[in-house]
Amino acid sequence: MTVMAETPVALSESDLPIAQVYQESALDGFDAAERLGSPGKYPFTRGVYPTMYTGRPWTMRQYAGFGNAKESNERYHQLVKAGTGGLSVAFDLPTQMGYDSDESIASGEVGKVGVAIDSLDDMRTLFNGLPLDKVSTSMTINAPAATLLLMYQLTAAEQGVAGKQLTGTIQNDVLKEYIARGTYIYPPKESLRLISDIFSYCHEEMPRWNTISISGYHMAEAGATPAQEIAFTLANAKEYVRTALAAGLDIDDFAPRLSFFFVARTTLLEEVAKFRAARRIWAHIMKDEFGAKNPKSQMLRFHTQTAGVQLTAQQPEVNMVRVALQGLGAVLGGTQSLHTNSFDEALALPSQKAARLALRTQQVIAFETDVCKTVDPFAGSYVMESMTDDVETAALALMEAVEDKGGAVAAIEQGFQKAEIERSAYRIALEIDHKERTVVGLNKYTLDQEEPFETLHVDPRIEADQCERLAALRKERDSDAVSRALDSVRSTAGTTDNLLHPMKEALAARATGGEVAHALRDVWGTYVPNDAF
């Protein structure tokens, strides 16, 4: 694309030039049919559905979970009553790492950053009274994703809801854990095997369930630029596709249930361009590289969360403005679902009032603005088409670098993605420290004294109560049946058979999530990062 730009030129978050003025000649030679298409048509640059939000708005999710299952269940009922269309479950760190609440390594972390789920009993409590045939549930869980998914399916079955009726998503994206987040358990090869088992299992048992949410969000929170975010996310996605194909799955059997998870920053224009570029890149990858014929396999459907890393503890009420702008960017970019952060999250777990206000922010965007009255509000924008091309070019160059290193797993083992993200994070930190980048309330427009805020705190008794429940469970259950079921998990882990079937039997027998994870650790071991780079 030829860009008519006047100097000086600013730089975007991806360190790409932003012209002061974009002229009509920026679209010279622009093949609109090939590069844009129509909404709902390949390559989906303008959105994955023909009518987008003119028919109905995106799914409004709220990410919640804290303390024990009973407390989180109460919050979910409040959110459903307030009008949320989908639940998004946050789990505590022991649950994310495959440990039970009564293990020594879990001490001090139970219920802190999410809800503690140790067994099927906890999952029943978490979703008590919620209509699982009507509510879409997203679970932010990765290494033990299969365990939590099976607990959810078993809970739904007890409510009389069949697996084929269930809708929702498990994050299940372990590759980004090795890059940016750290809640991995098993080595990459074994983790990928478990993911392909989930793909196959859900194709048969839970066909409406999104089997993976391939995430750039956490890489962005670690400091990735928009171009890095989509490049490394889509590179990971290619690895998952290759793993599933190698396991004998057909591309059009599992690809329609792949989904993605991105951040929305305050830099609204580049964020919209990022979403458009990601859709176009993925459509070409699926069609040209993997030969997907089903248009649903070529669609990049994604959830968005506003940028937690951009929230400030200083003057936290300013975060309301940030979140509104970030949410608007996600909507203009064509997201399929959205979580808006609460303004007090930089201080503590969100209060009930702040969580409700975050949901109301989405409702104002959907019902009080006019952005849902037309499909693709940025259609034909000189700046948007130019920025989309720039982000796409930068992302493709990074993806090629990953391929040159042998693909996503090989690049992870060499520390490539992590090093690239850390360089970007360091650059941003220096810009903030030197006041070259303004953060309102933090390094400019500050107050001499901050006003006090009431915050939500987790009762320290939660951990003791959870341990007591686990002790009671182990006393009541059939220990021999649990032992046999866990032995079956171990023996299956050493074969190519689908692991989810013996895992489901173990959980139904009231094995804990930690016990199932330990059974797999016994066979697969755990991942130890290479700190040489």
pLDDT per residue as tens digits for the range 136-165: 999 999 999 999 999 999 999 999 999 999
Please choose, from the candidates 180, 164, 101, 104, the residue with its C-alpha nearest in 3D space to the C-alpha of residue 132.
164
Looking at the DSSP bridge assignments, the partners of residue 89 are 64, 139
Residue 124 pLDDT: 97
| Residue labelled with tokens 């360190």 | 15
- Reported as a pLDDT band with limits 50, 70 and 90, residue 7 is low
Supply the DSSP string of 312-363, one letter for each residue.
-SSSGGGHHHHHHHHHHHHHHTT-SEEEPPPTTTTTSBPPHHHHHHHHHHHH
Peptide bond into 43 cis (omega under 30): yes
Determine the Cα–Cα distance for residues 323 and 340; give it in Å rounded to an integer: 6
Instruction: Report which of residues 464 and 67 the model is more confident about.
Output: 464
Residue 4 has pLDDT above 70, yes or no: no
Residue 213 has pLDDT above 90, yes or no: yes
Please choose, from the candidates 341, 392, 94, the residue with its C-alpha nearest in 3D space to the C-alpha of residue 230.
392
pTM (2 d.p.): 0.90
H-helix or E-strand spanning residue 90: strand 86-90
Instruction: Report which of residues 113 and 326 the model is more confident about.
Output: 326
pLDDT per residue as tens digits for the range 403-421: 999 999 999 999 999 999 9
Residue 533 pLDDT: 41
* Strand-strand pairing, 10-11 and 212-215: unpaired
By the 10 Å C-beta count (0-12 exposed, 13-18 middle, 19+ buried), 100 is classed as buried
DSSP-derived 3-state class of residue 28: coil
> Of 64-73, 85-94, 194-203, which one has max mean pLDDT?
194-203
Residue 24 has pLDDT above 90, yes or no: no
pLDDT per residue as tens digits for the range 290-324: 999 999 999 999 999 999 999 999 999 999 999 99
pLDDT per residue as tens digits for the range 33-85: 678 889 999 999 999 999 999 999 999 987 777 778 998 899 889 888 888 77
Determine the Cα–Cα distance for residues 113 and 162; give it in Å rounded to an integer: 31
Cβ proximity of 116 and 94 under 8 Å: yes
By the 10 Å C-beta count (0-12 exposed, 13-18 middle, 19+ buried), 30 is classed as middle
Instruction: Report which of residues 526 and 71 the model is more confident about.
Output: 526
Report the mean per-residue pLDDT for the chain. 93
- Which distant-in-sequence residues (6+ apart) come within 8 Å of 209 by Cβ? 149, 163, 166, 167, 168, 169, 170, 202, 257
Write down all domains in the chain, each with its CATH number in brackets: 10-433 (3.20.20.240)
Cβ proximity of 158 and 124 under 8 Å: yes
Determine the Cα–Cα distance for residues 199 and 251; give it in Å rounded to an integer: 11
Cβ proximity of 516 and 474 under 8 Å: no
Determine the Cα–Cα distance for residues 121 and 331; give it in Å rounded to an integer: 37
139 — phi, psi (to 5°)? -120, 120
Residue 1 has pLDDT above 50, yes or no: no
351 C-beta neighbours (distance < 10 Å), count: 18
pLDDT per residue as tens digits for the range 332-356: 999 999 999 999 989 887 888 998 9
Determine the Cα–Cα distance for residues 391 and 275; give it in Å rounded to an integer: 10
Please choose, from the candidates 271, 157, 262, the residue with its C-alpha nearest in 3D space to the C-alpha of residue 206.
157
Residue 2 pLDDT: 46
Residue 458 has pLDDT above 70, yes or no: no
Residue 28 pLDDT: 54
Residue 33 pLDDT: 63
Residue 532 pLDDT: 43
- Reported as a pLDDT band with limits 50, 70 and 90, residue 465 is very high
Determine the Cα–Cα distance for residues 278 and 301; give it in Å rounded to an integer: 10
DSSP-derived 3-state class of residue 105: helix
Q: How far is CA 220 from CA 60, 176, 216, in A?
A: 21, 11, 6
Supply the DSSP string of 172-223, one letter for each residue.
---HHIIIII----S-HHHHHHHHHHHHHHHHHH-TTEE-EEEE-HHHHHTT
Stretch 228-241: mean pLDDT: 98
Residue 163 pLDDT: 97
Residue 31 has pLDDT above 70, yes or no: no
Please choose, from the candidates 396, 172, 169, the residue with its C-alpha nearest in 3D space to the C-alpha of residue 278.
396
Residue 397 pLDDT: 98
